[in-house]
Structure 1
Amino acid sequence: MNINPNQTKIKSPYKPGTATKPLIIIRGYRQPVNRKAIQEYLESFGGLDQIIFHNSHITIQFATDNFHETFRKNKLRFENKSLSIKIIKPNNQKKAKRIKVLKNKNVKLKDTNFKPKDKNIQPKNKNENTPAKNLERSMNIINPLQLINEITKLRTADEQLMHLMKEIQLPYQEVETNHLSLCQYLESALSNYVFVTRGCRAMPFGSTITGLAFKWAELDVFIQNINIPDNATNDSGTIAQYITQSKIALQRTGSLYSIQEKQSKYLNTQYIRCTHESTKIICNIYFKNALGVCNSNLVYFLLNSDVRLRPMMMVIKYWAKINDIAGPKKISNYALVMLLIFYLQQNPKPILPNISMLQDPFFEKIINGWNAGYNNKFNFQTLNDYSIPYLLHGFFEFYSTYDFLTQVLSPFTGTSISKTMFHNANELDNILWLYKKNFLSNHCTKLEVDYLMCIQDPFEHNHNLTKPVNLTTIKVFQQCCTSAALICRKAIDSQSIISLLPQLLKVTNCKYEITILPTSSLNQNIDLMDIAERNNWYGRVNEILLIILKKVMKFDIRLAKHDQTTDIHDNIVESFNISCIGYFEIHHNRSKVSKKIGTSVGLKHEIAISDYIVENFNKSRLLNKKPILEMDILFIACRNPTRIVLELRNRQDELKNCFSIYEHYLQKWLPIWIDKYLQEKAEDILAASTSSRCK
């Protein structure tokens, strides 16, 4: 079998007219995809002759001639995403290939007369932009375990850090050659078709400008109309008009494809998302984010003030990425940067000034009512000469115990501010005079301090950078910080700095807690009951929990004793471990199936839903029982107060995406199910589920 997971040819290897087996095109998987995992998943259906990974799809051929018909009948799901397949017979492969080329070039909308003003937008070295080189931007190419092995072989900590930066950081030469040239190209295209009178400026922002971009990073660009002042802000109507006109202009260029209109919840605005054909750079084009450009320039200035800061931030970004702390609905990369800046502003030996110092006395650039100006010649003298390992230890230790629930992190003031202070603006210190002025004059809304985590934007003082962050993310972040601080401390104390990065860049096996309380399921206060009655509640929860895991979630479970070495061991009444292996995705379409099946009630109904999903949507997994989830649940019955704590831990690093989905699902539904069905008899539930299966 000739299978090469690293092959990245875009052109089909099958010669039209000579292929004897159907070509299968697979789409719909999550990008970037784990190549080894999806290859093993596809091989589970039958032997493969070839598998080739393209930018947006995969092509395969089975070794058996007619196996594609059997393959088509399966409902394919990989990493909780439905896969779509298209089977092209040998005599149609030439036609299909031609259709693909036409589709990618947007031929119908191509204007052959369009020529960008800048003739040097293409990279000087064409070999640097082959599909194989462009595909390396995907994090899928960087294998964390392989990277750790490579780093471990190096002789010094400096060599390790340099190797890490080389492997994950987008080189400045590529930014200059490709990303900035693409901005010139966009500027030329939109000036000719949309902003005809005086033109526009395409201003990149985000990690590309700050020097913190990963190799797989996207390019964010703000389009500024030269006809309006820098401090003006486009309204939603104007933005919608720009987007409509710009989509047409970009389609006419013929050099951009997958041009789509999107909505950013984080920035509360529409934008255009597209891909540049020759470099394969994904580009997000905004018409409302002048403050984002200013923020990026500020970060660039601060990180350039000390040679230790950029490598340190890259380590933190990568550490957060592999531990699933950063990302959508979690801590954004910009918020991570603000966490580092805030830590470096702290006494006794601050490395960075607070932002208010940079705006003193009169460095002003007002955008939408906020001062985004600063003194970029400011020279802050620090007495802090700690090495990067010491600073990393300080960062992790600082945030491992930080009280995010009650405090606001303000890089502008360089201090923590109680959330309650923002409920009455008059109580705030005068250093926040601009916020007080804008809020009291109804120019802005209040800083959103009611969210669990609040980092104040350094310029737009009523903007909370961490609104989407939930309690689970905060707990995981602080657990990972505790573990990382311990790793740093051990390396420093043992004078073995060379062991720091290999240990730090391993995925932290965090625990996720689900707490079951008795108050809503009982009519009396259980803490006033005797020991026998309390133990009866523990036993009933245990009984229902095992039924849910085995019959509803369809886990294979195994029970084992536990040694009671936990943070709450003084209050433990009983503890044991539940080892779970999952094979089926039973959390999809439950509400639809619930309406479709019979009129059973209670936990019996939930079991019936799961049975239906397994039998109708997971037939391939019934034949080939390959685990999609392996985790441990530590059951801890506690007193003072009476409660049951479930600690969830992932056992297989390669299945962490699926674990994250199930952890969120169980966080939501386990307490509800246990509270709702606690009074049902286990014998009745099991008897009913057995009888329904027999029918």
Structure 2
Amino acid sequence: MENKDTIFDITNLHLEGDFDSQVQGLLKYIRLNRAEVEQLQILMNDLQWTLEKAWPDCSVHAFGSIVTGLGIKSSDLDCHISLPPWQCSPGNGNVFKARLLLKKRPHIFKDPFAIGEAKIPIVKFYHIPTQRQCDVSFNSPQSIENSKLLAYFVQLDYRVKSLAILIKYWSKLHGLTGTNLMPNYAMILLVVFYLQQKSILPPVHSLQSNEFILDNWNVAFDDVRFASGNTDTLYVLLGGFFLYYKDFNYDKFIISLYLGKPISKESFSTVGNEPPEYRLYKENLQNNKCKPLRTDSLICLQDPFDHSRNCTVAVYARLANKLFSYISLGATAYEIEESDTFLRAILSMSVQENPVVTKKVGPRCIAKNKPANKKKKAFFHEAFLRARQKSRKKHP
């Protein structure tokens, strides 16, 4: 099997024709094909057979990009193991027990190790037959419901999948998402939120006419058709993604997929001051079933179901600066490049990373060396031109 990381060697890319033709060629190059997706069932079957030795009534559920249809060749498989209540061990005991079971089949599972100290304990391993990494959890199945929601959004409009995969690849290529970086899930949520602003996708609260409470949160949604009058091309939407997040006011607003619009951080500063749609959030706070949403991070991206969860709370200053820089360069590329050179420009651009000196401002930390607003456009325009010149030397 070809090394899955070769998709990030852009010297192998042959972007020919107009923008749409280039996108189709790129997606064919990076997406999982039908045979690769079907192969993942082998992994799940091996995992099921192995874990049944200790938990006869367990069931294996995949979630993440494989389920949402946003998988690329480098994607790992995420699995949740559902156990009957009488088989669950307290704390993180299940992941260590699973590790021992996996170690007994070294010809199938390579290097299994448990991470019990994480917020959601997992056991990781490499599946030899499919040459795929897998993360397994036993805790809350809420991730399964999140994946169902994203899968619903993806099938609403053909542009959603293409845009989400392009942004996923772009962010992975430039070292913005991954281990100890911004979660892929969070990046996809940014895409969904942007498309909500374009009236291509509906706000989550408008889909919740029913309730299915899981871990204190309503994860129900109506699987209905949503008619959008937006006719923007994929090219316009991709460029618009960079423009939107370049100008977004991260200091003042929460990114809320639940309401489908920015919400003032100030409205979440005092319990009971939240928008009326957050009834369940208020009840969970009053009954000590959750903690207040953290709004003091550089980016506040609220989970669409668990309203106490900031999905980007761990995005540190250096990473945030890098993300903002690449977004600004993407916006500049959209404004400067022709449509048939735009895709290569955003994939081949590079940001010069400098040490970030930070200072405390109230409860949060911001970067001191961020360009002043009045010089920002010129700064990124010059940076983009340097990146483009460097790229054209490699790709004449």
User: Which bracket does the TM-score occupy, shorter chain normalised?
Assistant: 0.7 to 0.9
Per-residue deviation, 1:465: 0.2
- Deviation of 1:329 (Å): 3.5
Structure-2 residue corresponding to 1:258: 111
CA contact (8 A) 2:271 2:282 kept: yes
The offset of 1:512, in angstroms, is: 4.0
2:333 match: secondary structure: helix
Matches of 2:321 and 2:356, distance apart in 1: 12
Q: Deviations over 1:117-143 (max 9, x none)?
A: xxxxxxxxxxxxxxxx1x421x24641
2:132 paired with 1:281: yes
- Counterpart AA for 1:203: H
Partner of 1:500: 342
Paired residue for 2:280? 434
Cα deviation 1:72-114 (Å, max 9, x = unaligned) = xxxxxxxxxxxxxxxxxxxxxxxxxxxxxxxxxxxxxxxxxxx
User: In the alignment, which residue of structure 2 is the partner of 1:247?
Assistant: 99
Number of residue pairs matched by the alignment: 367
> Equivalent of 2:43, from 161, 170, 182?
182
Q: Which of residues 357, 371, 381 in structure 1 aligns to 2:206? A: 357
Q: 1:442/1:516 Cα in 2 relative to 1: closer, same or farther (>3 Å)? A: closer
Amino acid at match of 2:294: E
How far residue 264 of structure 1 moved from its aligned partner, in angstroms, is 6.4
Distance 1:516 1:200 in 2: 48
What does residue range 547-558 of structure 1 map to in structure 2 within 5 Å?
Answer: none
CA RMSD, Structure 1 to Structure 2 (Å): 2.7
Tell me how far apart the structure 1 counterparts of residues 374 and 248 of structure 2 sit (CA, whole Å): 20
Establish whether residue 158 from structure 1 lines up as the match of residue 10 from structure 2. Answer: no
Task: Measure, in 1, the Cα distance between the counterparts of 2:70 and 2:121.
Answer: 25
Q: For 2:352 and 2:244, locate their aligned partners in 1 and report how far apart those are by CA, in whole Å.
A: 19
**Matches of 1:452 and 1:417 in 2, distance apart?**
15
C-alpha change, 1:310 and 1:568, in structure 2 (3 Å) is: closer
- Deviation, 1:446, is 0.6
- The C-alpha deviation readout for 1:268-298, integer Å capped at 9, x for no partner, is 0321111222222111111013011111111
Partner in structure 1 of residue 65 of structure 2: 207
1:368 — aligned with what?
215
Conserved? CA contact 2:61–2:82, under 8 Å:
yes
Q: CA deviation at 1:425?
A: 2.1
Change (3 A) 1:140 1:263: farther
Distance of 1:442 and 1:185 partners within structure 2: 40
Please identify, of 166-175 and 295-304, the stretch whose mean Cα deviation from structure 2 is larger.
166-175
State TM-score, norm by structure 1.
Answer: 0.50
1:651-662 aligned at under 5 Å gives the runs none
Match of 2:234 in 1: 388
User: Equivalent residue for 1:146?
Assistant: 12
Greater relative contact order (Cα 8 A, min sep 6): structure 1 or 2?
2
Match of 2:298 among 448, 452, 455: 452
| CA pair 275-446 structure 1, distance change in 2 beyond 3 A | same
C-alpha distance in 2 between matches for 1:289 and 1:168:
31
In structure 1, stretches of 5+ residues that fail to align are 1-132, 518-564, 570-648, 654-695
Task: Give a deviation string over 1:514-541, Cα, whole Å, max 9, x none.
Answer: 5699xxxxxxxxxxxxxxxxxxxxxxxx
Q: TM-score, normalised by structure 2?
A: 0.85
Amino acid at match of 1:339: L
Report the Cα offset of residue 513 of structure 1. Answer: 6.9
CA distance in 1, matches of 2:319, 2:188: 17
Aligned partner of 1:38 in structure 2 is none
Give the 3-state SS of the residue equivalent to 2:320 in structure 1. helix
Q: Is structure 2 residue 266 aligned with structure 1 residue 420?
A: yes
| 1:277-676 matched pairs, under 5 angstroms | 277-346=128-197, 349-359=198-208, 361-362=209-210, 364-376=211-223, 378-491=224-337, 496-510=338-352, 512=354
Structure 1 residues 369 and 424, CA, compared in 2 at 3 Å: closer, same or farther?
same
Larger Rg: 1 or 2? 1
Residue type at the aligned position of 1:374: F
Identity %: 26
Alpha-carbon distance between aligned partners in 2 of 1:367 and 1:515, rounded to the nearest angstrom: 42
Judge which range, 439-448 or 268-277, deviates more: 268-277
Go from structure 1 to structure 2 and tell me whether the alpha carbon gap of 1:325 and 1:434 turns closer, same or farther (over 3 Å shift).
Answer: same
- Asked if structure 1 preserves the Cα contact closer than 8 Å seen for 2:67 and 2:148, the reply is yes
Task: Answer whether contact 1:194 1:242 (CA < 8 A) is retained.
Answer: no
Shift in alpha-carbon separation, 1:515–1:463, aligned structure 2, 3 A: closer
Deviation of 1:209 after TM superposition, in Å, equals 1.2
**CA drift at 1:373:** 1.3
Question: Does the 8 A contact of 1:370 with 1:434 survive in 2?
Answer: yes
Change (3 A) 1:490 1:283: same
| 1:406–1:263 distance in 2 versus 1, CA, 3 Å | farther
User: Displacement, 1:263?
Assistant: 4.0
- Deviations 1:473-506, CA, capped at 9 Å, x for gaps: 3333222222212222334xxxx42222122211
Distance 1:383 1:404, change over 3 A: same
1:498 maps to a residue whose letter is D
Distance change in 2, residues 1:284/1:449 (3 Å): same
Indicate conservation of the 8 Å contact 1:454/1:466, yes or no: yes
Equivalent-residue separation in structure 2 for 1:510 and 1:289 (angstroms): 40
Change (3 A) 1:339 1:264: farther
Is 1:389–1:488's contact at 8 Å kept on the other side of the alignment?
A: no
Instruction: Describe the superposition over 1:142-191 as per-residue Cα deviations: whole angstroms up to 9, x where unpaired.
Output: 412332xx11xx22322211111122122233112x21231122122212
Q: Which amino acid aligns with 1:215?
A: K
Match status 1:219 vs 2:66: no
Alpha-carbon distance change, 264 to 291 in structure 1, aligned in 2, over 3 angstroms: farther
1:136 alignment counterpart: 3
Residue aligned with 2:296, SS? coil
Question: Partners of 1:471 and 1:516 in 2: how far apart?
Answer: 8
TM-aligned CA deviation for residue 567 of structure 1: 7.1
**1: CA distance between counterparts of 2:22 and 2:308?**
41
What CA deviation, in whole Å up to 9, does each residue of 1:247-280 have, x standing for no partner? 3332334422212112464xx0321111222222
Q: CA deviation at 1:313?
A: 1.1
CA distance in 2, matches of 1:474, 1:410: 19
- Correspondence for 1:22: none
Aligned partners of 2:92 and 2:116 also within 8 Å: no
Please report how far the alpha carbon of residue 383 of structure 1 lies from its aligned counterpart in structure 2 after TM superposition: 0.4
Deviation at 1:508? 3.0
Aligned-residue offset at 1:334: 0.6
Q: Aligned partner of 2:161: which letter?
A: R
Residue aligned with 1:223, SS: strand
Q: Distance in 1 between matches of 2:81 and 2:228?
A: 37
Equivalent residue for 1:540?
Answer: none
Q: 1:325 Cα shift?
A: 2.0
